[in-house]
Amino acid sequence: MTDGLLTHPTHEQLAAFDAGRLTDADSHGIEEHLAECSECCQMLKQLPGDDGYVALLREAVAGGDATVLISSTLGMASEETHDPFERDRATERGAGDRLRRFGNYELLSEIARGGMGVVYQARQIGLNRLVALKMILAGQLASAEEVQRFYAEANAAAHLDHPGIVPIFEVGEQDGQHFFTMALVHGSNLAERLRQGPMPPREVATLMRGIAVAVQHAHDKGVIHRDLKPANVLLEIVEPSFSGKEVGANFDRDASAYRPRITDFGLAKLVQSDAHLTGSGQVVGTPSYMPPEQAAGHTRDIRETADVYSLGAILYACLTGRPPHQAATALETVMQVLDAAPAPPRLLNPQVPRDLEAICLKCLHKEPARRYATAQQMADELQRFLDGEPTQASSVHLLDHMLHALRKDRHEENFRDWGWGLMAFGFVIAVSHTAMFVLESAGHRSLIAYWLPRGLMLVVLLVLLRRFRQHSMLPTNSAERLVWGVWVGYLICVGAVGVTLSVGGVDSRLLYAFSAILSGLGFFIMGVHVWGGAYVIGWAFLLAAPLLSITPKSASLSYGVLWGVSLLAFGGHYWRLSRSAVSTQRLHHG
């Protein structure tokens, strides 16, 4: 047998491995080979006999994608076995020395495998207890960053002592292999339960309240989880009659039969110390359950409210049987998280109470400031729902929604550099229309009073556009393309209306009234797409349209001033955002 098993083991070697006649080194080599070779796994399955250890190994190989820490997969507990270790000892006696020894632990079976780590069910020899032992998947080849992240997970969880969080027992290193041990939870996870469909609302509220309280404990200790999702919430069966036989398979109990326990702090952020582990712009987490600020890679903006969002996403999944956002690819899901509002839970499940829906949607606000400030506030809301009291989330009035709409900002990273340019545009438009008014009042023909100033205005605007967008005068992203489309369409429509009025022999000055209506429509679209303040500007244009139609002599001046003030407001808004962003960057780099 050569190191690393450069060739497939022979049938005789597999048989010797099965019978326990190989040395520890050779047995370990075959174990590693079997983890990567389906052909040899198939040969192993065809060997005669039903040796206990091989059965465990087969099950471990077959279940490599498991995501739940459950002891039932080993078949070690039974109703007749009063000593929980008796069956384990019988398995050990049948397997002889073939159980893999790892320091003070015996690795019994692989029970979970993730992107960075692998978890085994193990026996701690000194204390004779079953534990979950996690080690880095890359083993001794792990990079320094992987080791650092691994210890960050262990250290984050080790700070926490709460019945709703899986505790850490030991952190250490054995023969260059980093590991830590934690409690072995007898039960399945919430993701397994949700495969059966939505849960009853009151059970959901009870379960989520327990999870929120556990998350608040982590926040109180300065730990933000950043990867809360159903798969990371274990459901430990706490019924007194529990024997272990039915673990992970039977969910015919109400929520009081389970204790939710949070696990997997692999992406946890220590508020005061580990900002360097995730660089700005790097997206980490599970797309369907991560908040928009995390999906956008704004890691410096991730606070406790990020976990509140994830709690809301879990609540949504429990009520509807699906996450608030899901798509065919992870990228499409991230785009939904950033841009799309989730469908109201009652639309997917009419049995959801309105108060519980309101709590859920408050957690899922795109803006962190609109969510519950703490997980405890969410827990208190759920308790009010359970007690039949009015919830704060359901008492939001129409005025609150209107004020929120006015404050809303979208795609600000694409437009905040437009401040000075928009203010310059507003100045040029106001001056041009003032010139039109003066020339019209002096009795000049439309060629001089209207077309000449307007033509010069368009030329100056193009020069300014080139000045402020030296990289490209055309849109460079989807947000800009919509803005371009709206206002190019506006110019085309204004031209078409002007031609129509001219052909019909109508006073051309009525064009300002029709242009005001089209401008109002354009700003309403801007309110939906970029900044809520554009709604106010849109209403101003719509209200001005009738006035412009009955005061044609001053219509050009009024229209130009309205456009100038509107672009000054828009530009000023983005100028302030730009200054705020610069100040924030200086603070972070200072």
The length of the chain is 590
Q: Please name which of 184, 185, 157, 161 lies closest in space to residue 171, comparing C-alpha atoms.
A: 157
Strand, helix or coil for residue 189? strand
Strands (E), 238-315: 258-262, 269-270
Over its C-alpha atoms, the chain yields an Rg (Å, rounded) of 33
Which tokens go with 220?
Answer: 């109180």
Strand, helix or coil for residue 346? helix
What is the C-alpha separation between 141 and 494, in angstroms, rounded? Answer: 67
What is the C-alpha separation between 30 and 32, in angstroms, rounded? Answer: 5
What is the C-alpha separation between 117 and 65, in angstroms, rounded? Answer: 12
Q: Contact 340/325 with Cβ under 8 angstroms? A: yes
- Within a 10 A sphere around the Cβ of 585, how many other Cβ atoms? 11
- Residue 527 C-beta-side C-alpha neighbours within 13 Å: 21
Those residues with Cβ within 8 angstroms of residue 99's Cβ, 6 or more apart along the chain or in another chain: 53, 92, 106, 107, 108
Q: Contact 39/75 with Cβ under 8 angstroms? A: no
Which residue is catalytic, options 26, 88, 227, 264? Answer: 227
For every residue of 374-391, which 3-state class applies, written as one string? CHHHHHHHHHHHHCCCCC
Which residues pair with residue 233 across a beta bridge? 262
Write out the DSSP string of 166-188. PPEEEEEEETTEEEEEEE---EE
Q: Please name which of 395, 361, 403 lies closest in space to residue 378, comparing C-alpha atoms.
A: 361
What is the C-alpha separation between 102 and 93, in angstroms, rounded? Answer: 18
Which residues pair with residue 109 across a beta bridge? 121
Q: Contact 522/488 with Cβ under 8 angstroms? A: no
Residue with tokens 């000045």: 467
Residue with tokens 């469909």: 197
**Which of left, alpha, beta for 222 (phi over 0: left; psi -120 to 50: alpha)?**
left
Q: Contact 217/162 with Cβ under 8 angstroms? A: yes
Q: Contact 448/439 with Cβ under 8 angstroms? A: yes
- Within a 10 A sphere around the Cβ of 121, how many other Cβ atoms? 25
Angle between helices 419-441 and 452-468 (to 10 degrees): 170
Those residues with Cβ within 8 angstroms of residue 452's Cβ, 6 or more apart along the chain or in another chain: none
What is the C-alpha separation between 245 and 80, in angstroms, rounded? Answer: 10
Whole-angstrom CA distances from 379 to 215, 236, 268 are 10, 20, 21
- Catalytic residue status for 227: yes
What is the C-alpha separation between 259 and 253, in angstroms, rounded? Answer: 12
What is the C-alpha separation between 488 and 442, in angstroms, rounded? Answer: 32
Q: Please list the active-site residues.
A: 227
